[in-house]
Structure 1
Amino acid sequence: MSIKNSVCIITGASSGIGRSLAFEMARRGAKLSLAARSADKLNELKNELEQHYQADVLTVPTDVSIEEQCKNLADQTLKAFGRIDILINNAGISMRALFVDVEIKVLKRLMDVNFWGTVYCTKYALPSIIENKGSIVGVTSVAGFHGLPARSGYSASKFAIQGFLETIRIENLKKGVHVLIAAPGFTSSNVRKSALTADGTPQGESPRNESRMMTSDKVARKIANGIRFRRRNIILSLKGKISVLFQRVLPILLDRLFYNAMAKEPDSPIKN
């Protein structure tokens, strides 16, 4: 699939992987419809993209947990560009708390943003994507293959996204629609700083050393290549690939590895 001159929606575009995706897709010549909750951050990003790449950029402030705003995102994109070729469902939030301690409202918030945001945006972009034989991308996680301790809502939402997108792929098997499920491992971004704690407040500083993690720019390049070559699934780190392999052949060992790894985090809610 040629990315040049395609029309691409990116949710969660104001920071992290979403921001890197905006730069990567602009570099490859895509016309961009960028969505995030912060209008100010979107406008700053739009100015940078126009300055560096002379990109054609639409910004649509959007809370993906609200269906009407997702419909507006698709409508505004169609009004501005006349088509939708690529939808990258990137918007998402994380959490860090044991299920026994976490408030139910936190799990609902994760499902509203991560899962329902993907459902809403896909619902309203899909007719044009079918017409143009385009691509739908879900940015999920290794947590969507095997549950992560202290991330029950996050893992549940990522499992749900994978099941949903696999179904969309099969339903449109003969319509030329491409569905890519991209699962980064731990990525250097702000997602952990905004991760929700047991009562729903952001945790603040990341509990992990991010200096050795894959950068969001590298993740964006790999996702863009996955779109270009119409890949089915991509696991975006060696540790992630090993985890998915172990999930299939050594799941009990993987349980213990995940438990021990999460227990070693600073201020971990898991106590050995």
Structure 2
Amino acid sequence: MSDLHVPDSSTLLQQPTRAKATAAQPGHFAGKVAIVTGSESGIGRETARALCEQGASVVLNGRNPVRLEQTCSSLREAGFLVTSCVADVTDYADCQRLISTALHAFGQLDILVTNASISMRAYFADMEPEVFRQVLDSNVYGSVYPLKAALPHLIQSRGSVTFISSISALNGMPSGSAYCAGKAALSNLAHTLRLELLDTGIHLGVVHIGFTQNDADKRVLDATGQPVQIAHRPPRWQKTQVQVAHIILRHIRRRRQRTVISALGHLILLVHTYLPRLGDWVVRTTLRRMRHFYE
């Protein structure tokens, strides 16, 4: 999830002169150019770093210019070829500018990872309609707009698109209505686009992420739209951001249609597919006995 502070979306960081994409070091993605949205922090940052380690040139993105520049500088100091663009991915003009940044800096585009999104913890009956819209927009249009702007270039390169979804999209989660709806929409979007774009050679995939360790300052929205701490998850249930990033890279490398992360995610998928009533019973039971888990 990107930072909730929204600066002037016209700000553009690190706009270097155009150069042919060259890898800082050899790797599977040597010579490739990637955009990772929401990569100023968290999973997006570590995915960008992992792509760099495998030889890609990477365009970083976020809405907080200070944090974005810190991440960009850190990766440059490590010897990686990166640039950055402050852009709100729910704004189509910003997304066009984000794609232009990649083309101006590196001359091509091969990989798009739509990671930026906003999460929430609030029961539907309590939510302000505007908060629901904000969360849904970030999770749906936050993938639709970057892809729409990037599509001609990704078709030209027969590139790869990965939507970052969640295991909560597989069966729903109380107190996460807007987030779950948005993440679930990405699966059908990817499926539909695969059918439409079958002859182009473009890869369209979805990664359903499970519980992951978060940055200490990560926040989600409550019913009124105020940023609050994310619900507690036992550490033993969580993967590190680095582990998740490497799973995302394996998904891209193998051009998979769907990747579900964690044993819990696979269990949810299995139960939802074959024993949906059991799945609902488990959720209702945990909601009664472990309400703090959802809040």
Question: How would you bin the TM-score normalised by the shorter chain?
Answer: over 0.9
C-alpha separation in 2, matches of 1:175 and 1:225: 22
The percent of aligned pairs where both chains have the same amino acid is: 33
Where does structure 1 lack aligned partners over 5 or more consecutive residues?
none
Does 2:175 correspond to 1:147? no
- In terms of mean alpha carbon deviation, does 255-264 or 42-51 score higher? 255-264
Using the size of structure 1 for normalisation, the TM-score is: 0.93
Deviation at 1:259, TM superposition (A): 3.1
Matched to 2:207, the amino acid is: A
Is the contact made by 1:192 and 1:206 (CA closer than 8 Å) also made in structure 2?
Answer: no
**Aligned residue number for residue 181 of structure 1:** 206
Specify the SS of the correspondent of 2:148.
helix
Does 2:226 correspond to 1:201? yes
**Aligned residue number for residue 13 of structure 1:** 39
- The structure-2 alpha-carbon separation of the partners of 1:125 and 1:225, relative to structure 1 and needing over 3 Å to count, comes to same
1:99-134 residue CA offsets vs partner (Å, 9 max, x unmatched): 111111111001111110100000011111000000
1:237-258 residue CA offsets vs partner (Å, 9 max, x unmatched): 0000010010011111111222
Matched to 1:25, the amino acid is: L
C-alpha separation in 2, matches of 1:218 and 1:262: 29
| CA RMSD of superposed structures (Å) | 1.8
Is the contact made by 1:106 and 1:199 (CA closer than 8 Å) also made in structure 2?
Answer: yes
Specify the SS of the correspondent of 2:113.
strand
Matched to 2:178, the amino acid is: G
C-alpha separation in 1, matches of 2:256 and 2:216: 25
Is the contact made by 2:114 and 2:146 (CA closer than 8 Å) also made in structure 1?
Answer: yes
Where does structure 2 lack aligned partners over 5 or more consecutive residues?
1-26
C-alpha separation in 1, matches of 2:235 and 2:131: 25
Does 2:65 correspond to 1:39? yes
Deviation at 1:212, TM superposition (A): 3.6
Deviation at 1:25, TM superposition (A): 0.6
Which residue of 105, 115, 132 maps to 1:90?
115
Summarize the alignment of residues 129-168 of structure 1 with structure 2, pairs less than 5 Å apart: 129-168=154-193
C-alpha separation in 2, matches of 1:192 and 1:255: 32
Summarize the alignment of residues 4-83 of structure 1 with structure 2, pairs less than 5 Å apart: 4-52=30-78, 54-83=79-108
1:55-100 residue CA offsets vs partner (Å, 9 max, x unmatched): 1111000111111111110111111111110000000111111111
**Aligned residue number for residue 240 of structure 1:** 265
Using the size of structure 2 for normalisation, the TM-score is: 0.86
Which residue of 133, 139, 147 maps to 1:108?
133
Q: How many residues align?
A: 268
- In terms of mean alpha carbon deviation, does 142-151 or 234-243 score higher? 142-151
